[in-house]
Amino acid sequence: MSSADDRTARARIRDTALELFAEHGEGMVTMRQIAEQAGVSPALVVHHFGSKDGLRDAVVEHVRAWLDDLIDRSSQPDVTTDLAAGNWGSIAELVAPEALDGTLAAMPRYLRRLLLSGDPVGTDLIRSWHTRTVEVFKAWDAAGVIDAGENPRIRAAICMTADFGLFLLADQWREVLGTDPLGDGLPQWAAESMSVYGALFTGSTHPSAQE
Protein backbone atom coordinates (compact mmCIF):
# COMPACT_ATOMS: atom_id res chain seq x y z
CA MET A 1 0.00 0.00 0.00
CA SER A 2 1.38 3.41 -0.94
CA SER A 3 1.67 6.22 1.59
CA ALA A 4 -1.05 8.16 -0.28
CA ASP A 5 -3.41 5.17 -0.08
CA ASP A 6 -2.53 4.78 3.59
CA ARG A 7 -3.47 8.38 4.38
CA THR A 8 -6.71 7.99 2.45
CA ALA A 9 -7.59 4.89 4.46
CA ARG A 10 -6.89 6.73 7.71
CA ALA A 11 -9.21 9.59 6.74
CA ARG A 12 -11.89 7.12 5.62
CA ILE A 13 -11.74 5.29 8.95
CA ARG A 14 -11.96 8.58 10.87
CA ASP A 15 -14.90 9.83 8.81
CA THR A 16 -16.70 6.51 9.17
CA ALA A 17 -16.22 6.64 12.94
CA LEU A 18 -17.60 10.20 12.97
CA GLU A 19 -20.73 9.13 11.12
CA LEU A 20 -21.31 6.06 13.32
CA PHE A 21 -20.60 7.97 16.54
CA ALA A 22 -23.05 10.67 15.44
CA GLU A 23 -25.74 8.15 14.55
CA HIS A 24 -25.48 5.67 17.42
CA GLY A 25 -23.23 7.17 20.11
CA GLU A 26 -19.66 6.15 20.80
CA GLY A 27 -20.60 3.54 23.39
CA MET A 28 -22.73 1.60 20.90
CA VAL A 29 -20.12 1.40 18.14
CA THR A 30 -17.30 -1.16 17.98
CA MET A 31 -13.96 -0.97 16.22
CA ARG A 32 -15.03 -3.93 14.09
CA GLN A 33 -18.18 -2.14 12.93
CA ILE A 34 -16.12 0.91 11.98
CA ALA A 35 -13.67 -1.28 10.06
CA GLU A 36 -16.45 -3.09 8.20
CA GLN A 37 -18.21 0.10 7.14
CA ALA A 38 -14.91 1.75 6.15
CA GLY A 39 -13.97 -1.30 4.08
CA VAL A 40 -10.75 -2.03 5.93
CA SER A 41 -9.48 -4.65 8.36
CA PRO A 42 -9.77 -4.16 12.14
CA ALA A 43 -5.98 -4.47 12.25
CA LEU A 44 -5.64 -1.40 10.04
CA VAL A 45 -7.86 0.61 12.38
CA VAL A 46 -5.61 -0.37 15.28
CA HIS A 47 -2.53 0.41 13.19
CA HIS A 48 -3.71 3.98 12.57
CA PHE A 49 -5.35 4.84 15.89
CA GLY A 50 -4.17 2.32 18.45
CA SER A 51 -7.49 2.06 20.26
CA LYS A 52 -11.05 3.31 20.24
CA ASP A 53 -9.97 6.18 22.49
CA GLY A 54 -7.31 7.13 19.95
CA LEU A 55 -9.89 7.04 17.18
CA ARG A 56 -12.26 9.16 19.22
CA ASP A 57 -9.50 11.72 19.80
CA ALA A 58 -8.94 11.90 16.05
CA VAL A 59 -12.66 12.45 15.45
CA VAL A 60 -12.80 15.23 18.06
CA GLU A 61 -9.77 16.97 16.58
CA HIS A 62 -11.32 16.72 13.11
CA VAL A 63 -14.47 18.42 14.39
CA ARG A 64 -12.41 21.05 16.19
CA ALA A 65 -10.41 21.78 13.02
CA TRP A 66 -13.61 22.05 10.98
CA LEU A 67 -14.99 24.95 13.00
CA ASP A 68 -11.54 26.47 13.57
CA ASP A 69 -11.24 26.72 9.80
CA LEU A 70 -14.61 28.47 9.51
CA ILE A 71 -13.58 30.94 12.21
CA ASP A 72 -10.25 31.56 10.50
CA ARG A 73 -11.94 32.27 7.18
CA SER A 74 -14.55 34.53 8.75
CA SER A 75 -11.78 36.79 10.06
CA GLN A 76 -9.97 37.17 6.74
CA PRO A 77 -9.46 40.79 5.56
CA ASP A 78 -11.69 40.40 2.49
CA VAL A 79 -14.56 39.11 4.62
CA THR A 80 -14.09 41.94 7.13
CA THR A 81 -14.20 44.42 4.24
CA ASP A 82 -17.48 42.91 3.02
CA LEU A 83 -18.99 43.11 6.50
CA ALA A 84 -17.92 46.73 6.89
CA ALA A 85 -19.81 47.43 3.66
CA GLY A 86 -22.90 45.72 5.07
CA ASN A 87 -22.52 42.51 3.07
CA TRP A 88 -23.27 39.96 5.78
CA GLY A 89 -24.07 37.41 3.12
CA SER A 90 -20.35 36.72 2.72
CA ILE A 91 -20.38 34.94 6.07
CA ALA A 92 -23.37 32.86 4.99
CA GLU A 93 -21.47 31.88 1.85
CA LEU A 94 -18.61 30.58 4.00
CA VAL A 95 -20.86 28.47 6.18
CA ALA A 96 -23.40 27.07 3.75
CA PRO A 97 -21.20 24.95 1.44
CA GLU A 98 -19.44 23.30 4.39
CA ALA A 99 -22.44 21.69 6.05
CA LEU A 100 -23.91 20.52 2.74
CA ASP A 101 -21.02 18.07 2.31
CA GLY A 102 -22.02 14.47 3.05
CA THR A 103 -19.31 13.71 5.59
CA LEU A 104 -19.42 17.11 7.26
CA ALA A 105 -23.16 16.75 7.76
CA ALA A 106 -22.36 14.30 10.57
CA MET A 107 -20.42 16.92 12.55
CA PRO A 108 -23.44 18.85 13.88
CA ARG A 109 -25.08 15.57 14.88
CA TYR A 110 -21.92 14.44 16.68
CA LEU A 111 -21.65 17.79 18.45
CA ARG A 112 -25.27 17.48 19.53
CA ARG A 113 -24.49 14.14 21.20
CA LEU A 114 -21.48 15.63 22.99
CA LEU A 115 -23.42 18.64 24.24
CA LEU A 116 -26.56 16.78 25.33
CA SER A 117 -24.56 14.11 27.14
CA GLY A 118 -22.62 16.68 29.16
CA ASP A 119 -19.34 15.18 27.92
CA PRO A 120 -16.40 17.32 29.14
CA VAL A 121 -15.03 17.19 25.60
CA GLY A 122 -18.05 19.17 24.43
CA THR A 123 -17.41 21.82 27.06
CA ASP A 124 -13.77 22.00 26.05
CA LEU A 125 -14.72 22.54 22.42
CA ILE A 126 -17.20 25.26 23.35
CA ARG A 127 -14.58 26.97 25.53
CA SER A 128 -12.02 26.93 22.70
CA TRP A 129 -14.47 28.23 20.08
CA HIS A 130 -15.77 30.88 22.46
CA THR A 131 -12.25 32.23 22.92
CA ARG A 132 -11.79 32.38 19.15
CA THR A 133 -15.20 34.01 18.64
CA VAL A 134 -14.43 36.76 21.18
CA GLU A 135 -11.20 37.49 19.30
CA VAL A 136 -13.11 37.79 16.03
CA PHE A 137 -15.74 40.06 17.62
CA LYS A 138 -13.04 42.36 19.00
CA ALA A 139 -11.32 42.50 15.60
CA TRP A 140 -14.62 43.32 13.88
CA ASP A 141 -15.33 45.98 16.49
CA ALA A 142 -11.92 47.58 15.85
CA ALA A 143 -12.67 47.56 12.12
CA GLY A 144 -16.01 49.31 12.69
CA VAL A 145 -18.01 46.29 11.55
CA ILE A 146 -19.94 45.63 14.76
CA ASP A 147 -20.40 46.88 18.27
CA ALA A 148 -18.95 44.12 20.44
CA GLY A 149 -20.56 45.67 23.52
CA GLU A 150 -19.18 46.26 26.98
CA ASN A 151 -18.80 42.52 27.54
CA PRO A 152 -17.77 40.78 24.29
CA ARG A 153 -17.46 37.45 26.13
CA ILE A 154 -21.15 37.41 27.01
CA ARG A 155 -22.19 38.76 23.62
CA ALA A 156 -20.22 36.01 21.93
CA ALA A 157 -21.81 33.44 24.25
CA ILE A 158 -25.29 34.67 23.33
CA CYS A 159 -24.58 34.33 19.63
CA MET A 160 -23.01 30.91 20.07
CA THR A 161 -26.07 29.79 22.04
CA ALA A 162 -28.22 30.67 19.04
CA ASP A 163 -25.88 28.97 16.58
CA PHE A 164 -25.37 25.77 18.54
CA GLY A 165 -29.05 25.73 19.42
CA LEU A 166 -29.64 24.93 15.76
CA PHE A 167 -27.70 21.69 16.20
CA LEU A 168 -29.82 20.73 19.17
CA LEU A 169 -33.18 21.64 17.59
CA ALA A 170 -32.48 20.70 13.96
CA ASP A 171 -34.93 17.78 13.96
CA GLN A 172 -37.73 19.92 15.35
CA TRP A 173 -37.10 22.79 12.93
CA ARG A 174 -37.01 20.32 10.05
CA GLU A 175 -40.55 19.28 10.94
CA VAL A 176 -41.82 22.81 11.64
CA LEU A 177 -40.23 24.57 8.65
CA GLY A 178 -40.45 21.73 6.15
CA THR A 179 -36.80 22.09 5.20
CA ASP A 180 -33.56 20.85 6.70
CA PRO A 181 -31.72 23.80 8.33
CA LEU A 182 -28.51 21.75 8.29
CA GLY A 183 -29.06 20.55 4.73
CA ASP A 184 -30.91 22.05 1.79
CA GLY A 185 -32.29 24.85 3.96
CA LEU A 186 -28.92 25.93 5.32
CA PRO A 187 -28.13 28.69 2.79
CA GLN A 188 -31.34 30.55 3.62
CA TRP A 189 -30.93 29.89 7.36
CA ALA A 190 -27.37 31.23 7.30
CA ALA A 191 -28.34 34.31 5.29
CA GLU A 192 -31.23 35.15 7.63
CA SER A 193 -29.07 34.55 10.72
CA MET A 194 -26.38 36.91 9.51
CA SER A 195 -28.98 39.53 8.60
CA VAL A 196 -30.31 39.39 12.16
CA TYR A 197 -26.82 39.58 13.66
CA GLY A 198 -25.94 42.44 11.36
CA ALA A 199 -28.96 44.42 12.53
CA LEU A 200 -28.27 43.71 16.20
CA PHE A 201 -24.55 44.39 16.10
CA THR A 202 -24.53 47.76 14.35
CA GLY A 203 -26.13 49.81 17.09
CA SER A 204 -25.61 53.44 18.01
CA THR A 205 -23.20 52.56 20.83
CA HIS A 206 -20.38 51.99 18.39
CA PRO A 207 -18.17 55.09 17.93
CA SER A 208 -18.37 54.89 14.15
CA ALA A 209 -22.17 54.97 14.32
CA GLN A 210 -22.11 58.22 16.31
CA GLU A 211 -20.12 60.22 13.78
Residues listed for the chain: 211
Can you tell me the distance from the alpha carbon of 192 to that of 207, in angstroms, rounded to the nearest whole number? 26
Can you tell me the distance from the alpha carbon of 44 to that of 16, in angstroms, rounded to the nearest whole number? 14
Assess contact for 145 and 83: CB atoms under 8 A: yes
Average pLDDT over residues 57-78: 86
Residue 168 vs residue 18, higher pLDDT: 18
Mean pLDDT of the chain: 82
Band (120; pLDDT cuts 50, 70, 90)? very high
Q: What angle do CA 149, 150, 154 make, to 5 degrees?
A: 75
Can you tell me the distance from the alpha carbon of 85 to that of 88, in angstroms, rounded to the nearest whole number? 9
Overall pTM surpassing 0.85 (yes/no): no
**What pLDDT, on a 0 to 100 scale, did the predictor assign at position 210?**
38
Band (88; pLDDT cuts 50, 70, 90)? low
Residue 99 vs residue 134, higher pLDDT: 134
